[in-house]
Amino acid sequence: MAGLPRPDEVLPHRPPFLFVDEVTEMVPSRSATGRWHLTGDEAFFAGHFPGRPTLPGVLMVEALAQLGGIALLSDERYAGKLPLFGGIDKARFRRQVSPGDTLDLYVELDQLGSSAGKGHGTARVGDKVACEVSMLYVIVRQ
């Protein structure tokens, strides 16, 4: 879609720790939809687990947080700020994610203030939920 930012235009993250490949929809400071295409070349698959490569659940949560950070930082009110994890609640991992899968990400930001915010996210592979999580952001100056 035209007009949507590239993740590296908004986030300070860079490979190998940038997990959002594309933003497909966004309402700044409200919600975002994006994707992470897992090629199998990612280094963590070699050790998690040999013979049965599986995306670590914590990296699914990080990908959702990064997508939420894109939605947050796309709002001019948060320019020059850095959203950090303040907490992770109710994380649930529902299915394994493997090399070759595309992780469809959705984040909704529920409450935002000048120094903190809350959101929740869902990661899916196809129509199957892989991860659900509630997150707390602490917003600091960069």
Distance CA 109, CA 123 (A): 15
Q: Residue 42 is encoded by which pair of tokens?
A: 């990612």
Say if strands 31-37 and 81-93 run parallel, antiparallel, or are unpaired: unpaired
Q: Is 48 one of the catalytic residues? A: yes
Q: Provide the token pair at 132.
A: 């659900």
Catalytic residue among 13, 37, 48, 120: 48
Question: Residues 83, 139: contact at Cβ < 8 Å?
Answer: yes
Annotated catalytic residues are 48
